[in-house]
Structure 1
Amino acid sequence: MGYDSRFLHWKKIEIIQMNRKRILLLLHYSLNTQHTDSTLFSSLSENDWFKLMRIAGQQSVLGLCLDALDKLKSNGAMPPRNVLIKWIGSVMTLEKEYERQKVFIKELASFFSKHGLKMVLMKGYGLSKLYPIPKHRGSGDLDVYFCGKGQYADELIKERGIEVKQNEEKHSVYSINGFHVENHASMICEQEHLSLLKVEEFLKDDLERNLHLDEESGCWLPSTMFNVVFLPLHFAGHFVYGGANLRQIVDYALVVKNANLNSDTNQIDWEKVKALAIEGGYFKFLCCLNGICMDHIGIPSDCFPDWPRYKDIEERILAEILNPTSVDVHSLPSKIKRYFKNRWKYQLVYSKENHLMGFLLRIRSWVNWKYGKKSVWNRK
């Protein structure tokens, strides 16, 4: 590699690192009230701002980052007008989709309620209520759970002439009015990850005992403890197998922050959380997630327990999320290559499992649901 090539290589790395700092600062500013340092934004070109906007979109934090721009305004570090107009337009689209999904959630919850079912909504809309501007979280798939009555819920959907598919071991899927719904039989892929069996038991038990009704939508929402246990594992699965983003970190961060602000009603039993994480083999990963929330999202350290820090791993996790080494992997050979290339992630999240055995279990699961006749409602 010649001098010019080396220079361009290191220049590219420098730009990536600076954009990483900027996007994390925007998230920090959007969720906190402290003084804003605009130094990293004052000399950005129009093209630089477009790149930053694109990264925010890829990380599903476009709305949050727009909120942060107001705090830069007084320091003269706003993006050019045409960038700002496009950014605002994109967020307005998110807002409209959010409102449309909220109407759909209310209609679907009402439908199931008429048949005696409580529709539990995980992630998504329930978490958006913790955001400074809920509709700026954006919306995606609906993850629902019916506390042991998921098969009946599927039958009700089929009676409406809607096709229900079973293509993954933890949920069935269907689409209504452009909305993709995942009806969960389990919270996590515990049949692929045997170390998580007790975590799965805890999550299901908590959903049976600690739901609360959201009057606005008519759906039922899980407890803070459920979210504190479930969200890191959901994020971890995406981190290992692809598709992790900053919004998943922010979701967890805001659950913890909100629990601290409302300690009379929302308690986190950190000892229980720790015991489950140690049992499941992902305690070090959870420590890293807490550290990222403190150092980069701006959640006060007193919201978290005094657990070990692994700053080098935290930085590696963030680097992988913002600049993943494997993207757009569709073919089976490419997926296999990615799986073994990312074994450091697997060992961090599923430390009690053998990587090769995990690969074989995942292949078995994929074959079962691609070609088999199994039902997600028959767990045996």
Structure 2
Amino acid sequence: MANIYFELLQIAIGERKMLSRSLSDNDWQRMFIFCKRQALLGVCFSGVEKLYGLGESCPLDLWMKWYGYAVRIETLNQKLNMQCRELTAQIENDGFGCCVLKGQGNLLNYSENIRYRRNPGDIDLWVSSRFMRDAGTEAGMCSENSIKGMVVENDAKSVSCYGCRDVIRYVRNQYRQSAAGKRVKICYHHIEAPSVDGTHIEVHYRPAFMYSPLRNIRLQRWFAFNMDECVKNRTCMGFSVPTASVNVVYHMCHLFSHYFETGLGLRQLMDYYFVLMAWHNDCMDSNNTQFNELLAEGIGKNCMSKEEVMHTLKSFGVAKFAAAVMWVLHEVFAMSSRYYICEPNEKEGRRLLDEIMRGGNFGQYDMRCMALKNGGTIKHGIWKLKRIAGLVRGYPEHALCEPFFRVWHLGWRMIH
């Protein structure tokens, strides 16, 4: 049955024309449950519509239910896009550099017919105060205009325009101004901002992280080096997103983090499928002579070759995981080998796909050790150790560093 699931997904994204066999009513019910668990209801409904035009259709009551989900997803995407424009405009007006990560930042990568049927989540923003220096500030200190809305007035003189501390102050001040009265949730790479009309918002000062200290230092330096380009990469949707080359590296690191945390779903792998498409179209298929001329004139964006992408991922310790992702993308999405960034690793890929199929979106449906996972702090810690122990053989450096990072992170959160 699993191959049929993948076939519908391939039809939706345009990699396939028809199913290999007709489906019974029970098969369609199982298909719907699979799509719901993987957060793919909207995209896969486009495949259902294509099949309907070819004479293959699901039961009418299920079709109507599915259609209702698809319409709600389209409406929600429109709402989140508007909120992204408003939030980034406000943050930039307050003197920060900002771009939209993941979710809504990926919509333009998708083909037009399914763009607004991607199941949305929360809004993730990458925010930095380093751009305040470019606005005419002196000696690394903020002017009165640039700190507008960032900190309370009596705190303004003590704030320097550097690093994540300004971003944390800025978000905490948003809570004070909104009188939300909520305890601020903060971790190493992001802080929760006040929700907007029910939309959960995360403000990142570090887009991702690695458990290994050495790999994490390299990753944070790479992000710092590439942030200017991402903040300036304004799209037709009215907000900035990471460039294609940054996305192809960042998303792989993001997938790896979720694989260690709770698990991955096919929605995240589908995002990466379209990230690779966008990167390949922007960089690999471009005219090199014309591209170099544009760069020499200060126009255009820096594009990384396949070799540069893999060299970067190896320096972060995720090359083996990248090979597993390539196998899954080929198996599930029928991705052509011309889009590979490395040779697929079937053994690790099968293991990754088994986790995805068992756990669903972010591992929410993985019944193994569910009592431990949701049984309080101590039981959750035991569940996490068991999960990490299962990853030692495949990714020993990161798995062995994870418990130490968790202890250090507890202290970091207590301080902040």
Unaligned runs of 5+ in 1: 1-17, 375-380
Task: Report the residue type matching 1:319 in the other structure.
Answer: D
Residues 221 and 343 of structure 1: CA distance in aligned 2, closer, same or farther (over 3 Å):
same
Match of 1:281 in 2: 317
Q: Is the 8 A contact 2:230 2:240 kept in 1?
A: no
1:314 CA drift (Å): 0.9
1:123 CA drift (Å): 0.7
1:156 CA drift (Å): 5.3
Candidates 120, 125, 129, aligned match of 2:99 = 120
Task: Measure, in 2, the Cα distance between the counterparts of 1:349 and 1:247.
Answer: 23
Q: Is the 8 A contact 1:287 1:310 kept in 2?
A: yes
Task: Measure, in 1, the Cα distance between the counterparts of 2:411 and 2:10.
Answer: 43
Match of 2:177 in 1: 160
The correspondence of residues 1-380 of structure 1 with structure 2, limited to 5 A, is 18=1, 20-39=2-21, 42-45=22-25, 47-132=26-111, 133-148=114-129, 150-151=167-168, 153-154=170-171, 157-158=174-175, 160-161=177-178, 162=180, 165-174=184-193, 175-190=195-210, 194-262=214-282, 263-264=285-286, 267-305=303-341, 307-324=342-359, 325=366, 326=368, 328=370, 329-331=373-375, 332-343=377-388, 346-347=391-392, 350-353=395-398, 355=400, 357-366=401-410, 368-369=412-413, 372-374=414-416
Bigger mean CA deviation after superposition, 129-138 or 256-265: 256-265
Q: Is the 8 A contact 1:225 1:268 kept in 2?
A: yes
SS in 2 for 1:145: strand
SS in 1 for 2:383: helix
Bigger mean CA deviation after superposition, 120-129 or 52-61: 52-61
Q: Is the 8 A contact 1:257 1:299 kept in 2?
A: no
SS in 2 for 1:167: coil
Task: Measure, in 2, the Cα distance between the counterparts of 1:145 and 1:327.
Answer: 34
Q: Is the 8 A contact 1:30 1:67 kept in 2?
A: yes
Residues 44 and 327 of structure 1: CA distance in aligned 2, closer, same or farther (over 3 Å):
farther
Bigger mean CA deviation after superposition, 29-38 or 229-238: 29-38
Task: Measure, in 2, the Cα distance between the counterparts of 1:153 and 1:268.
Answer: 34
Residues 294 and 193 of structure 1: CA distance in aligned 2, closer, same or farther (over 3 Å):
farther
Task: Measure, in 2, the Cα distance between the counterparts of 1:44 and 1:279.
Answer: 49
Task: Measure, in 2, the Cα distance between the counterparts of 1:293 and 1:354.
Answer: 24
SS in 1 for 2:314: helix
RMSD of aligned alpha carbons: 2.6
Task: Measure, in 2, the Cα distance between the counterparts of 1:190 and 1:284.
Answer: 15
Task: Measure, in 1, the Cα distance between the counterparts of 2:279 and 2:343.
Answer: 21
SS in 2 for 1:352: helix
Unaligned runs of 5+ in 2: 130-165, 287-299, 360-365
1:278 CA drift (Å): 1.9
1:173 CA drift (Å): 0.5
Task: Measure, in 1, the Cα distance between the counterparts of 2:221 and 2:20.
Answer: 47
Q: Is the 8 A contact 2:188 2:409 kept in 1?
A: yes
SS in 2 for 1:346: coil
1:208 CA drift (Å): 2.1
Task: Measure, in 1, the Cα distance between the counterparts of 2:61 and 2:329.
Answer: 32
Q: Is the 8 A contact 1:118 1:219 kept in 2?
A: no
Identity of aligned residues (%): 19
Task: Measure, in 1, the Cα distance between the counterparts of 2:226 and 2:15.
Answer: 34
1:219 CA drift (Å): 1.9
What TM-score comes out, normalization by structure 2 length? 0.76
Task: Measure, in 1, the Cα distance between the counterparts of 2:92 and 2:187.
Answer: 26
1:327 CA drift (Å): 6.8
Bigger mean CA deviation after superposition, 187-196 or 214-223: 187-196
Moved over 6 A (4+): none
What TM-score comes out, normalization by structure 1 length? 0.83
SS in 2 for 1:308: coil
CA deviations over 1:244-290 (Å, ceiling 9, x no partner)? 11011111111111222333377342222222222222211101112
Bigger mean CA deviation after superposition, 308-317 or 185-194: 185-194
Q: Is the 8 A contact 1:280 1:350 kept in 2?
A: no
Task: Measure, in 1, the Cα distance between the counterparts of 2:199 and 2:78.
Answer: 13
Residues 114 and 358 of structure 1: CA distance in aligned 2, closer, same or farther (over 3 Å):
closer
1:93 CA drift (Å): 1.2
1:348 CA drift (Å): 6.6
